[in-house]
Amino acid sequence: MIIDTLRRDHLSCYGPVKTEETFGKPVYTEAFDAFAKKGALFEQAYLGSFPCMPARRDMWTGRYEFPFRGWGPLEDYDLDMVSLLKSHGVLTQMISDHYHIIERDAGNYHGGFDGWEMIRGQEHDPYRTDPFEGNEQIDHLTNQFWYMQNNNIREKFRTEEELFAPQVFRKASAWLESNATKSIRSKRPFFLMIECFDPHEPWDPPMHMVDELDPDFQGKRPHSPTYGTADRYTPEELKQMQALYAAELKVVDRWFGSFMQKVEQLGLYEDTLIIAVTDHGFYLGEHNLVGKPNLVPLYGEMSHIPLFMYHPEAKSGLRRKEIVQAVDIMPTILDALGIELPVPNPEMMCIGMNEKKAWEGIHPERAKLHGKSLLPLLKGEDMTTRPAAFSGKFGDIIRICDGEWAMYISPNPDKPLYWYGTRAPGRTFAGKRGPYDAKQQRYPMEYPSAGLALELYRISTDPRETQNVAADYPEKVKELTVLFRNWLEEIGAPVEVADRYAI
């Protein structure tokens, strides 16, 4: 399951929680804590491609997206996990309120499933068009997402069960009860993808939960803040923002726990791989940032993510320290089901993502995964994953982290940049695209640069990344640069990427 915008430092199983620092008391995530004790918790999990949909393409295909392309749909030549599972007789279902999955500029990630159910109305889901009055004025505290969500739900008061996360987990529990009893799954394995958009903003948790954390707040609540610098907000508004996020997360935790009770009731712990992960974090004032702005580094609050896995053969309560990323999820799932990748066929250019016949082969480049199965780690074995994690947004700042150090490299916007694929770019954010080059299957792109100097932080002693020590450790800069160069070669990244980042 993917729980969007889930910050690692707000989960009590990962250690001291941010709420204790802000409010003087922790908000415990009891259900996540309980799940971590059953399976494995990964201490060094990092995002790969950023933000929402690029992260999902990493998970769906087992390949890093950001060196090649940005936010967009699956390509017809993608060897995607869902279609591959389906071709092996696995029953596949998605239950989601993450509307980007089906929207035009990214929306074919649902297409390979046997069934999918979308809970409508989140954020600016294009759901309702009839006139509606009663929305608040748009400003830095209330952006257009809050306006659209209010329009979708008609600004109606909702009990906790009617909120989005409870709806998602209740639907998922009902599907399990109908489709995954022991007698049914003994005849046919299943794959259930749960997409929970919360605790992504707009935040609309029960207000009593917010007031318990921040009882003295007066003024307009920042339910859906505008992305950018934090200095436009007062300290009180930033504190209230954190209270809204923490309360929304508490709702998610509660209903995640309800879903896990259904898992136990149906005996699914006996024979099921269960994965819980997020795509990225969210700035709540750290580094003078709010939200997910363009052209800023993916500091730890954004890139150091939670990841939990359970397998019946795994030891309980494992805390693995190997460096893992989202691209490892696909091969882990295939490995758990005993599914091998198609044999590369040089004569075969591609197979469509919705091809119904059995997978007979695929172009060798598309059969090369960037991720590795983590099943050995779940079983308590040792294995080498990768020397560092590589995180980035197409055309933007890249983060290289070896677990002790984190380095950020800004691109040179005057160097060539291409968007590779047969599908037109979806959201290019700050970028602009040129005409399609059919021969090279790419679009020339223009993307600005923040012009930031190289940054290096020793996160083992400076976890908040407050002291840039790049000038003091030139050898470490060189070492991480070599890792970055080697990684680009290993994944077959376009040759111009290294030139763009001056390595």
3-class DSSP string for 396-411: CCEEEECCCEEEEECC
What tokens does 425 get?
A: 């770019």
For residue 435, say if its preceding peptide bond is cis, omega within 30 degrees of 0.
no
pLDDT for the residue numbered 179:
96
- Which tokens hold the place of 448? 């600005």
- What confidence score (pLDDT) does residue 357 get? 39
Task: Assess contact for 30 and 257: CB atoms under 8 A.
Answer: yes
Cβ(57)–Cβ(40) under 8 Å?
no
The separation between the first and the last C-alpha atoms of the chain, rounded to the nearest angstrom, is 37
Helix (H) / strand (E) element for 444: namely strand 442-446
CA–CA dist 359, 18 (Å, integer): 47
Residues in Cβ contact with 327 at an 8 Å cutoff, skipping those fewer than 6 apart: 48, 58, 59, 62, 63, 64, 369, 370, 371
Quick one: pLDDT at residue 288?
Answer: 97
Which of these CATH numbers, 3.10.20, 2.60.40, 3.30.1490, 3.30.1120, describes 389-500?
A: 3.30.1120
**What letter would DSSP give residue 275?**
E
| In the chain, ranges of CATH 3.30.1120 domains | 389-500
- SS3 string, 194-230, reads EEECCCCCCCCCCHHHHHHHCCCCCCCCCCECCCEEH
The four Cα atoms 251, 216, 464, 325 give a dihedral, to 10 degrees, of 10
Measured over the CA atoms of residue 348, residue 352, residue 357 and residue 361, the dihedral's sign is positive
* Number of C-beta neighbours around residue 56 at 10 A: 24
User: 76 Cβ partners below 8 Å, 6+ apart?
Assistant: 350, 352, 353, 422
From residue 215, give the alpha-carbon distance in Å to each of 20, 202, 206, 244, 285: 15, 20, 14, 12, 20
Reported as type and span, the H/E element at residue 41 is strand 40-46
pLDDT tens for each residue of 300-313: 999 999 999 999 99
Residue keyed to tokens 């979708």 = 152
pLDDT tens, 196-210? 999 999 999 999 999
Q: Start-end ranges of CATH 3.40.720.10 in the chain? A: 2-336
Alpha-helix residue ranges (DSSP H) falling in 193-337: 207-213, 235-265, 300-303, 329-336
Whether residue 202 has a cis bond before it, omega within 30° of 0 = yes
Residues 6+ apart with CB under 8 A from 471: none
User: Can you give the pLDDT at residue 196?
Assistant: 98
Mapped onto helix, strand or coil, the DSSP state of residue 95 is strand
Q: Alpha-carbon Rg of the chain, whole angstroms?
A: 22
CA-to-CA separations, 125 to 68, 153, 291, in angstroms, rounded: 27, 11, 19
CA dihedral 419, 423, 425, 426 (to 10 degrees): -150
**Fold entry, domain 2-336:** Alkaline Phosphatase, subunit A (3.40.720)
> What contacts 18, CB < 8 A, 6 or more positions away?
7, 9, 10, 242, 246, 284
CB atoms within 10 A of CB 117: 16
Cβ neighbour number for residue 294 with a 10 Å cutoff = 16
Provide the pLDDT for residue 188: 94
Which pLDDT does position 158 carry in this prediction? Answer: 78
What's the CA gap between 224 and 202, in Å, rounded?
5
Q: How does DSSP classify residue 334? A: H
Neighbours of 257 (CB within 10 A): 17
Contact 380, 475 (CB under 8 A): no
- Specify the pLDDT at position 287: 97
pLDDT of residue 128: 77
* 3-class SS of residue 45: strand
- pTM, two decimal places: 0.93
Give Cβ neighbours of residue 502 (< 8 Å, ≥ 6 apart).
Answer: 409, 412
Collect the ranges in the chain with pLDDT lower than 50.
348-361
> Cα separation of 118 and 168, whole Å?
9
Structure tokens at 134: 């009663």
